[in-house]
Structure 1
Amino acid sequence: MSEKESKKGLKGVWTLYTIQDGKIVSKRVDCPKCGRGVFLAEHEDRFTCGRCGYTKFKR
């Protein structure tokens, strides 16, 4: 390991989805160009798609 400590903790699919009214709902935003199943990465000031490069800025 390097000088920095590695981040430890469980991370899984259950952190990306919630259950509302008996249905599974994604917490992330889908890419409007790529369609369902491709999510936008959340940065400090924008959302970006790693597949097509689409960027949506936060206001």
Structure 2
Amino acid sequence: MPKKPKPKNKRPSQVWLKYSSGKKLTCPKCGPGMFLANHSDRLYCGKCKYVEMKSK
């Protein structure tokens, strides 16, 4: 029986790059890794329900 060929190493996924930009604000209560959702009049954390109102 012939030997199986070794699989080629895959490139690591680059999906995480879209999260590492400095544009998104992190939640002050939850810490790094939890981002605030950007609504028209507020910034909102879905995990701890933290709300920051935007000034007009």
Which TM class, normalised by the smaller chain length?
0.5 to 0.7
Deviation at 1:27, TM superposition (A): 1.2
If the length of structure 2 is used for normalisation, what is the TM-score? 0.62
Structure whose alpha-carbon radius of gyration is higher:
2
Structure 1 moving runs of 4+ over 6 Å: none
Provide the aligned length of Structure 1 versus Structure 2: 41
Identity %: 44
Deviation at 1:37, TM superposition (A): 0.5
Residue in 2 that maps onto 1:48: 44
**2:37 is the counterpart of 1:34:** no
Structure 2 runs not aligned, ≥5 long: 1-14
Please, what is the CA RMSD of the aligned residues? 1.7
Q: Aligned equivalents of 2:32 and 2:17: distance in 1?
A: 18
**2:53 is the counterpart of 1:57:** yes
